[in-house]
Structure 1
Amino acid sequence: MERQFIERYKRKTRRELQQIINNRADYREEAVRAAEKLLGESDEDPREEISVARTACKRNNPFGPILFARSFSYRDVLTVISSTLLCMALFQILNYYKDEFVFVEYYPFLKLFLFFVFIIINHVLYFKEHKRSNDLLGRSMVDLFFFLSFMLFYSVYEYVVYDSVFPLPLNAQVIVFLAIFTVFSILLFETIVDFIKYLLIKMKCQIF
């Protein structure tokens, strides 16, 4: 059994091995002995610390797409689609009551606020599903997918229910402008979200 732990712990750094030894109460006796043996056999290698620092730098890089691309799966797609459909359903409820005196004045702002709330909900769900926070680029990709899904489902809904077609600009310059504007708007919004995330981490109540 000790040999199995030795094979498993071979790739761990000296710091990780020392952590196992320090928290021996949380590990099996064979695991602790394997960590002690590997720690005793290994010499201090400065390249190891450099490698660990580079790995940490890559993980903390807000524009690094590696972690997001590796963890992206069908459940992320289903989560965004589900939140899009729920957001549209709540929009329809607001449309039904938009003539009530409570909603008449604030109806457009409520819809806009609800849309941004669902963007944050997507980030919270990502944090719960993957057990880690998404980076800036990953959150921007999720936002873009949510926005495109919403536009697609809304267009289908309008066509099926009201037999109306969402007007699309045929001018290539307009399409390029809208695409660039959308991307920059998402990045700007996520930069603000990143600051909010930083404050939540400092207050030790991180939710996304």
Structure 2
Amino acid sequence: MEDYFLTKFQRKTRIELQRIVDNQEHYRPEAVLAATKLLNKKLSEQALPILDEAAYPTRDEKLKVDTLSLSFDYRPFFRTLSYREFLTSISIAMFALAVIGIINYYSDERFFVDAHSTWRLYTILFVFLANHIIYRHEHKRSNNFLGRYINDLFLLVSMIILTISYKFIIGDTYTFPIENGVLGIITVISVIIMTIFSFEIGLGFLKMLLKKIRCQIF
């Protein structure tokens, strides 16, 4: 696998290779090692200090990296996009809908009577966070902001499709709650975009905190 990345990264510039080394959590270990070797080679050819492959480059050796552009770089996510992202989203969506169904069924019980809406909200937040944790486990790397955002959309669309399909199977009809269809769709999409954006900003701060205490889980 390392040979594959060595060949793939041959034409990358020194800045691009340095970006991979500085952001190792976004790439596979083999890719980081290959980028480090190629970067060492380029640095040695320019008579610059060679980086230690087993360690991060020192502060003086690091090149300036635009962290904002890295957060909104779509390439890391789509480079590894496969069927498992969709299967994972569908599986997590089915789990979430099953839990919500149980909460709705027992909504009249004493334990849920005054808190079933809160439990539904907690379930949604949990499954969206679990979606990112599973992604890190599957790909052995963290997802960036844009990647997590797209992954959230996959999960949300899966939940909507499964909900509509379930209603269709049981013979129920799905009614849109807003009378003006076009305006309603625009409003719902805008709310969804802003809600997921705000959610991911909050997760971004949580991720920074977890990295500082060396307990990164997504």
TM-score by length of 2: 0.69
Amino acid paired to 2:186: V
2:170 counterpart SS class: helix
Unaligned runs of 5+ in 1: 17-34
Q: Quick one: percent identity of the two aligned structures?
A: 30
Higher helix content, 1 or 2: 1
Report the equivalent of 1:148.
157
With 173-182 and 77-86 compared, the bigger mean Cα shift is at 173-182
Amino acid paired to 1:178: V
Unaligned runs of 5+ in 2: 19-37, 50-56
1:68 and 2:77 aligned:
yes
Query: 2:82 and 2:121 mapped to 1: Cα distance?
Result: 28
Distance 1:175 1:60, change over 3 A: closer
Report the equivalent of 2:139.
130
1:200 and 2:218 aligned:
no
Amino acid paired to 1:201: K
Query: 1:175 and 1:167 mapped to 2: Cα distance?
Result: 9
Amino acid paired to 2:169: V
Query: 1:76 and 1:120 mapped to 2: Cα distance?
Result: 15
Q: Deviations over 1:16-73 (max 9, x none)?
A: 9xxxxxxxxxxxxxxxxxx9xx79x734269xx9xx847x657971111110111111
Report the equivalent of 2:28.
none
Query: 1:42 and 1:193 mapped to 2: Cα distance?
Result: 41
Give runs of aligned pairs for residues 9-158 of structure 1, distance below 5 A. Answer: 42-44=45-47, 53=63, 57=66, 61-158=70-167
When the two chains are superposed, the root-mean-square deviation of aligned CA atoms in Å is 3.4
CA contact (8 A) 1:158 1:164 kept: yes
Query: 1:84 and 1:128 mapped to 2: Cα distance?
Result: 18
Q: Deviations over 1:143-190 (max 9, x none)?
A: 112111111111121222252223265532221222122112111110
Report the equivalent of 1:172.
182
Query: 2:75 and 2:128 mapped to 1: Cα distance?
Result: 22
Report the equivalent of 1:191.
201
TM-score by length of 1: 0.72
1:101 counterpart SS class: coil
Amino acid paired to 1:71: T
1:82 shift after superposition: 0.5
1:120 shift after superposition: 0.2
Q: Deviations over 1:100-131 (max 9, x none)?
A: 10111110110111011000000000010111
Query: 1:58 and 1:109 mapped to 2: Cα distance?
Result: 35
Query: 1:130 and 1:158 mapped to 2: Cα distance?
Result: 34
Query: 2:195 and 2:205 mapped to 1: Cα distance?
Result: 16
Query: 1:127 and 1:109 mapped to 2: Cα distance?
Result: 28
CA contact (8 A) 1:158 1:166 kept: no
